[in-house]
Amino acid sequence: MSPMADPDASPDPPPSAGVLIDGDSHLELLGPWASPDVPPYAATAFTAAERRRIHLLHYLLRGNFVLTVAADDEDVAAFMDGSRRCLDLAAHYVRDDGALPVPDWLEATDAGIKDILRPDHPAVDDVRITVTWDQRIYARSRPRSREILVSAVTRAHLRSLNVWFWTSWNHAMRAADPKDTGKLATIRAMLRNSEGFTLPLLAFLVSVYRDIDLSRLPCPRAWDAESFRLASLWTAMQTTFVLAHEYAHVLLHGDHPLGSPRLEAEADAFAYRVLLAFDRTGFTPDGVRPALRWYFRLLAIERSVGQVINSHPVDWIQEDIQCRPLAFLHPTVGDPNAAYFDAAVGNAAMVAKHFLREAGPERIREYSKDICAEFGTLARPTHDRRAE
């Protein structure tokens, strides 16, 4: 277990179930859970490429279960047993045909978006979704072939990052000095532990740029069931937004060369409208704003981290990304409390960025190496044509 999942670090954890089920994850793949036809996983029976897929699928299947900070030893043992069975199942699927099924969450999101768009865009039913094994938070549209590619790990990564935000947020609220009554007391408490907040995020961000074994990535614990519900809601908002954004390119921008800020803004505004029309409780402007703010901020930090660890000139501002949500996130109306929380989420992301900037490139590269060492990369053999 990673230190981020240390229940002792949480003062006075709330009473809660120790293991939660993620209903938006991949429950559809747990069918053969008890089947004797699924033998224990034997790594030697697979090629390196197959093992890589098995580990990725294991990461997704394991994500059906989430420990809370209140989990006791028995819960952790049950979680580990379940994780082992998920590995058997992952091997079973990869051995079977190696294809990645379109997960339920993606099918449901896609169907919901199509329902909203159909009246104005009958061609929406021609758009096909393909799931990829790419180890990235990633969606890609190919307007000419009316295809949208989505990496299977997109949702799992976002969920982990969202769970970590909410657990850290709750933790900081508890840890805030009772005499510190200002609106930003929670953020001040997060700042006091900015390393503890940032390093777990970094593991996920580094995994985008390094062939880390996803199977061994840390499992952030949820604070409690309600906090997990909010993290899941954010995840649904983010994945719906990303998919709807790609729909905009396919339906509106088929003949344009993509990449211009104007088309991106158009696709973002389109996605935002789809999100607010989406049939799910909580998809309101006040609810959506912090979820997307957190997502875009993470995207910007992810890009900066990638530049640092690949020894590329680093842009800590990432204006292209940071400015994107302003067009639709700018609060025009509102509940002051919602606006305050939205600003606080932005500040929480700044805590992580500030920590990394202060640490500097050398230290970040060391962190990245530590992460690769701790979670394991998919090693390659050494080569003989290397020049020193």
> What is the binding site for Zn ion (CB under 5 A)?
264, 267
Shortest spacing between CB 158 and other proteins, in angstroms: 12
Closest separation in Å from C-beta 245 to Zn ion: 6
Q: Name which of 40 and 259 has its Cβ closer to other proteins.
A: 259
Q: Which of residues 368-387 bind other proteins (CB under 8 A)?
A: 380-381, 383, 385-387
Applying the rule CB under 8 A, the residues between 297 and 326 that interact with other proteins are: 299, 303, 306-307, 309-312, 320-321
Please pick, from the candidates 138, 174, 277, 280, the single residue that binds other proteins as defined by CB under 8 A: 138
Cα angle: 340, vertex 232, 107; to 5 degrees: 130
Which one of other proteins, Zn ion, none interacts with residue 330, CB within 5 to 8 A by kind? none
Tokens in use for 120?
A: 């104005």
Cβ neighbours of residue 138 closer than 8 Å, sequence gap 6 or more: 132, 149, 150, 151, 154
CB nearer to Zn ion: give 85 or 249: 249
68 forms beta bridges with 222
Nearer Cβ to other proteins, position 162 or 170? Answer: 162
Say if CB 352 and CB 198 are below 8 A apart. yes
CA distance 290 to 280: 17
Cα–Cα distance for residue pair 320/23, rounded to 1 Å: 34
Which residue, 174 or 365, is less far from other proteins as judged by CB?
365
When the beta carbons of 226 and 320 are compared against other proteins, the nearer one is: 320
User: Any alpha helices (H) in the chain, and if so which ranges?
Assistant: 48-62, 73-96, 104-117, 153-175, 185-192, 194-209, 225-252, 261-277, 285-309, 319-322, 326-329, 336-375
Distances (CA, A) of 365 to 12, 158, 167, 306, 382: 35, 23, 26, 10, 22
Range in contact with other proteins (rule: CB under 8 A) among 20-28, 88-96, 208-216, 327-335:
208-216
100 touches which of other proteins, Zn ion, none (CB within 5 to 8 A by kind)?
none
- The residue among 204 and 223 lying less far from other proteins, judged by its C-beta, is 204
Q: In terms of CB distance, is 105 or 209 closer to other proteins?
A: 209
Interatomic CA distance for residues 134 and 154, integer angstroms: 9
Shortest-Cβ-distance residue relative to Zn ion? 267
Q: CB-wise, 213 or 264, nearer to Zn ion?
A: 264
| Spatial CB neighbours of 213, under 8 Å, sequence gap ≥ 6 | 55, 375, 376, 377, 378
- Taking CB under 8 A as the criterion, the residue among 69, 153, 242, 348 binding other proteins is 242
Examine residue 55 and tell whether it contacts other proteins (CB under 8 A): no
**Cα distances (Å, whole numbers) of residue 231 to 1, 169, 174, 348:** 21, 11, 18, 15
Strand 128-132 relative to strand 65-67: parallel, antiparallel, unpaired?
unpaired
Question: In this structure, how many other beta carbons lie within 10 angstroms of the beta carbon of residue 133?
Answer: 14
**How many positions of this chain bind other proteins (CB under 8 A)?**
41
Q: How far is the CB of 105 from other proteins (least distance, A)?
A: 17
Backbone angles phi, psi at 167, to 5 degrees: -65, -45
Q: Of Zn ion, other proteins, none, which one sits near residue 134, judging by CB under 5 to 8 A according to partner kind?
A: other proteins
| Contacts (CB under 8 A) with other proteins, residues 4-23 | none
Based on CB atoms, which residue is closest to other proteins, 171 or 249?
249
Sole binder of other proteins in the list 25, 83, 141, 215 (CB under 8 A): 141
- The yes or no reply on residue 216 touching other proteins (CB under 8 A) is no
- Is residue 38 involved in binding other proteins (CB under 8 A)? no
Interface residue list for other proteins (CB under 8 A): 49, 134-145, 208-211, 242, 245-246, 249, 257-259, 264, 299, 303, 306-307, 309-312, 320-321, 380-381, 383, 385-387
